[in-house]
Amino acid sequence: MKKKHLIFIAFLLSLSLCAGCSNAGSTFAKKKDKASKETENTEENTPEEMTVTAPVQNDPVSDAGIPDEANDSAPTSEEIEGNSKGRVAMIADTAGINDHSFNQAAWDGLVRLNDDTGATVKYITTANGLTFNDNIETLLSEDYSLIWGVGYTSADALLEAATKHPDRNFAVLDHSFENIADNLTGVTFRAEEPSFMAGYIAASVSKSGRTGFIGGMESATIDAFRYGFEAGVAYANKELSKNVTVDTQYADSFDSAAIGKEMALKMYEDGCDVIFHAAGNTGTGVIEAARELGPDHFVIGVDRDQSYLAPDNVLTSVLKNVTVVIENVSVQYMMNSNIGGISLDFGLSEHAVGLSENHDNYSDEIYEKAVGLGEKIASNTVLVPKNEAEFNDMIINNFQTLQ
């Protein structure tokens, strides 16, 4: 296995995620480059500085609650024509673009790209028996020059397409590549970092001493959420002399709110009073379960600020600034920046992940402590595990890396 080395690429400026991050300012992504590549100077092609506010949300959910399948009403594709030569498309996973989460945030980024640059943008959903490969071929036939795959499940198909079509560009959200084509970019987020902060909050708030984690599917991507969260709970236990536990389950689905709701209701019944979900549209069912059960049943949202789905129950949300990242990386491609053949890694130090500012359901003191932990993580004073081995090492070493 070739040793990856991290270098910096200064092309994302002033990404100011609203909470859990340090102050807005110049920022850059960590670049996981192939060993054979040299550092590339992209200064001439740096896009204009962009300031990010809190994500735009949908209207609040009515008393009827969250639909069991929130993406039922979404069309399987949509195109917004622009007035420039840019043509950028994305392939959503089975959860669809009304998942209140990752896919929706990605599409928001392309809508902004259309607004800001005049690019023609489109999404197409992997549904109705269509595969990622089917959708890739459709978008290639429609002359899209940059095609995004949303989620790690699209990685193999995008890598194959990039190899077959060297004249087109491809990018994948939530996946890095060991061996990557020169016309393909991987984009990952250090989700373990804000998840650690969320774990600290969950353990601080929990009265029952039991919290839960519901993941969509077992994978390295979801492991980062899980073990970051479990580490934050463990750190709070040590600091606050508590013994809060984490019950972990996987739904084996990112697109079934019904399954998420059923799992969450059982967890709450078993004594959990805070559940963190990293499960896409399945997670909307977790939120609906908390909302249905009422006060003192808390949930932690993911990817976007999900407090609007259940204002009295969403404790906080672990945010990925997907909207801004997908727009900025797309702009780089449109400006002919040479960022193919690499994987870009975003975290707290790049202001690309964080926590929602909203903390109506817990104290200012706990919120400020979580923000302080985020600052330590961003400065590498606190090292957060992203998998089981790193988590076990942290426990065995008794948090020696935590100052």
Task: Quickly list DSSP for 39-83.
Answer: P---GGGPPPP----SPP-PPPP-TT---SSTTTTS-SEEEE--S
Q: What is the mean pLDDT of residues 13-28?
A: 31
Query: 56-65, 95-104, 278-287, 326-335 — which is least confidently predicted?
Result: 56-65
With a cut of 70, say whether residue 20 has pLDDT above it.
no
Query: What gap in Å lies between CA 125 and CA 74, rounded to an integer?
Result: 10
Where does the pLDDT of residue 377 fall: very low under 50, low under 70, confident under 90, or very high at 90 and above? very high
Residues 6 or more apart whose Cβ sits within 8 Å of residue 320: 102, 105, 189, 191, 303, 352, 353
Q: Is the pLDDT of residue 70 over 70?
A: no
Confidence of residue 67 (pLDDT cuts 50, 70, 90): very low
Q: What is the residue whose two structure tokens read 């129950």?
A: 313
Query: Is residue 191's pLDDT more than 60?
Result: yes
For residue 248, which of 280, 218, 213, 295 has the smallest C-alpha distance? 213
Indicate the pLDDT class of residue 30, thresholds 50, 70 and 90: low
Beta strands 184-189; 342-346: pairing state? parallel
Which region among 194-203, 291-300, 327-336 has the lowest average model confidence (pLDDT)? 327-336
236 neighbors 203 (Cβ within 8 angstroms): yes
Tell me the C-alpha distance between 28 and 9, whole Å. 6
Residue 326 pLDDT > 70, yes or no?
yes
The fourth-level CATH superfamily of domain 192-319+360-396 is: Response regulator (3.40.50.2300)
What pLDDT was estimated at residue 280? 87
Tokens of 3: 């040793």
Quick: pLDDT tens for 109-123: 999 999 999 999 999
How much of the chain exceeds pLDDT 90, in percent? 64
Exposed/middle/buried for residue 179 (C-beta within 10 Å: 0-12, 13-18, 19+): exposed
What average pLDDT does this structure show over 53-76?
43
What's the residue count for the chain? 403
Task: Indicate the burial class of 62 (C-beta count within 10 angstroms; 0-12, 13-18, 19 or more).
Answer: exposed
Single-letter amino acid code for the residue at 236? A
Mean model confidence pLDDT for the chain: 82
Select from 121, 128, 137, 370 the least CA-distant residue to 240.
370
Residue 5: per-residue pLDDT? 28
pLDDT above 70 (res 277) = yes
**By C-alpha distance, which of 318, 269, 315, 317 is closest to 289?**
269
pLDDT at 98 over 90: no
Instruction: Look up residue 129 and give its two tokens.
Output: 């028996």
Nearest to 310 by CA among 253, 236, 257, 267: 257
For the chain, which residues make up each domain, given as ranges? 192-319+360-396
b/e burial code for range 21-53 (CB count within 10 A of at least 16 → b): bbebeebbbbbbbbeeeeeeeeeebbbeebebe
C-alpha 182: how far from chain center = 25
Mean pLDDT highest for which of 44-58, 90-104, 113-127, 334-348?
113-127
Task: Give the rounded percent of residues in the chain with a pLDDT score beyond 70.
Answer: 80
Q: Which pLDDT tens digit goes with each residue over 134-189?
A: 999 999 999 999 999 998 888 999 999 999 999 999 999 988 888 899 999 999 99
In the predicted model, is pLDDT for residue 285 greater than 50?
yes
Bigger pLDDT: 249 or 254? 249
| Overall average pLDDT of the 243-257 stretch | 95
pLDDT higher than 70, residue 257: yes
Sign of CA dihedral 318, 309, 53, 46: positive
Residue 226: predicted pLDDT? 98
Question: Which residue from 190, 193, 94, 194 is spatially nearest to 151, judged by alpha carbons?
Answer: 94
Q: How confident is residue 402, by pLDDT bands cut at 50, 70 and 90? A: low
pTM: 0.78
